Amino acid sequence: MARVNEHYRKLAAGYLFPEIGRRTREFQQQHPDAQLLRLGIGNTTEPLTPSVIAGLHNGVDQLADRETYRGYGDEQGDLDLREALARFYKGRSMEIASDEFFISDGAKPDSGNIQSIFSLDSRPAFQDPAYPVYVDTNVIAGRSGPYNPDTGTYERFIYMPCTKENRFIPELPSEPADLIYLCSPNNPTGAVATHDELKRFVDYARDRKAVIIFDASYSEYIDDPDLPRSIYEVDGAKQCAIEINSFSKFAGFTGVRLGWSVVPKELTVADSDFGTVHSLWFRRQTTFFNGASNIVQRGGLAVLSDAGLQECGELTSYYMGNARIIKEGLQEIGLQAYGGDNAPYIWMETPGGMTSWEFFDKLLSEAWVIGTPGSGFGPSGEGYFRLSAFGHREDISRAVDRIQKRLTL
Ligand code: MLT
């Protein structure tokens, strides 16, 4: 007799973005003439750049010719793409070997799957609020213990509140943690950790033989040269941190799908030797995953060319221009807005003590603008709301104009 994985039943709610989609469809059915503007999910809108398109075409052409056709590629991803990534990091003074990169189909699967190589009794610590994938995948794996609906927390998880008092950068875990999930620039708060703030976590992890799972998906949105774009900018991080990154927000690959993880060989945990964790991830990936599309990997290689980097820099600047319009637009009408300076998300306080979902409904019904309720990212997100800077400039400007003119405060 088969049974379902009981841990799925512990998931607190449906996945956040489908729930937003459901409420939005319901509103649209009731108001078919409303022209909605979507600043909810961080979904890219601008076309791929010319060099990247040429790279993708080249990938297709290679498959059309018997001499260049390839089926399965290198197990960890194409060697030339991994070497290009190694050069990319080296250009920022970090030494990562090409065989420490694992090419994937994006940061979401890697950030969800990585926990599977660690023991089930490892206690995870999460920034609160956080991208829901980290928490949910640890629930599904069976690490959570029961859910407490009054606090919105799971018994065995450690929450690291990110509040305006700590500039949305968490303190160290309040109880001993084994897996520490960090995301900087942060989704959803838009906060970016400084070198010293990351060093505190690296020192903690090395002392405890804990592992930091560092989601750097928004690293290319950092403009300030003093802010770290990789955890490996901190000395000693290779001994304790796995970094996950993606071409999605960097180059517009949300629908194309391509990412990478770095699992350093020198990263060790309590019961592992040099290279063990690295080889477990290799084993996991070669068992469950047959590699990113070879066409797409040609596109990724083009992103990392000089021309590609220049063009993708213009793309991220475009979205950061949107971020400025949103943040300033909110501030002009007296709303408290954070983030948005080195990250494509604006994190605002809901006005008048409204809950996040109350504000979602208000914004939708009054301004026909969709955002993301902060409480969907964890209990400390209650009373906050996220607006995404991904969108066509004209839509962003219209959304801000409507918020300013139609929202009753
Ligand atoms: C978000 O809106 O938080 C992200 O776009 C979701 C994702 O990248 O999976």
For 235, phi and psi rounded to 5 degrees? -55, 135
Exposed e or buried b per residue across 359-391, where buried means at least 16 C-beta atoms within 10 angstroms of its C-beta = bbebbbeebbbbbbbbbbbbbbbbbbbbbbbbb
In this structure, is residue 89 part of a structural domain? yes
Instruction: Give the span between the Cα atoms of 124 and 133, in whole angstroms.
Output: 13
Q: Please give the pLDDT value at position 407.
A: 97
Task: Tell me if 2 is assigned to some domain.
Answer: no
Q: Is 327 inside any structural domain?
A: yes
Q: Is residue 312 part of a domain?
A: yes
Q: Are residues 40 and 85 in the same domain?
A: no
Locate the ligand 1 atom nearest the alpha carbon of residue 17 and give its number. Answer: 2
CATH value at residue 189: 3.40.640.10
Domain-terminating residue out of 287, 305, 323: 305
CA dist 22 and 1 (Å) reads 34
What's the gap in Å between 192 CA and the centre of ligand 1? Answer: 17
Where residue 112 falls among pLDDT bands split at 50, 70, 90?
Answer: very high
pLDDT per residue over 263-280, tens digit each?
999 999 999 999 999 999
Average pLDDT value for residue range 193-221 = 98
Q: Of the residues 261, 284, 305, which one is the last residue of a structural domain?
A: 305
Judge whether residue 228 has pLDDT over 90: yes
Residues 291 and 312 grouped into a single domain: no
Structure token pair of residue 115: 């926990």
Six-digit token pair at 7? 């841990």
Distance 223 CA to ligand 1 centre (A): 21
Could you tell me if 32 and 113 lie in one domain? no
Judgement on whether residues 277 and 338 belong to the same structural domain of the protein: no
Residue 185 lies inside a defined structural domain of this protein: yes
Domain count, the chain: 2
Residue 208 lies in a domain: yes
Range of the domain at 126: 52-305
Pair 172, 40 in one domain: no
Residue-averaged pLDDT of the chain: 97
* Cα torsion angle, 309, 312, 316, 317, sign: positive
Examine the pLDDT at 199 and tell me if it is beyond 90: yes
Q: Could you tell me if 113 and 247 lie in one domain?
A: yes
The verdict on residue 179 lying in a domain is yes
Report the C-alpha gap between 342 and 328 in whole angstroms.
14
Ligand 1: atom nearest CA of 187 is 3
What is the pTM assigned to this prediction? 0.97
Q: How confident is the model at residue 18 (pLDDT cuts 50, 70, 90)?
A: confident
Same domain for 81 and 165, yes or no, is yes
231 close to 121: Cβ distance less than 8 angstroms: no
d(CA 153, CA 175): 15
Distance 224 CA to ligand 1 centre (A): 23
- Give yes or no for residue 108 CB within 6 A of ligand 1: yes
Does residue 3 fall inside a structural domain? no
Same domain, 243 and 338: no
* Predicted confidence (pLDDT) per residue in 151-161, tens digit: 999 999 999 99
293 and 313 inside one domain:
no
Coil vs helix vs strand at 52? helix
Residue 378 has pLDDT above 80, yes or no: yes
pLDDT at 17: 83
Largest Cα–Cα distance of the chain, in whole Å?
A: 66
pLDDT value at position 12? 81
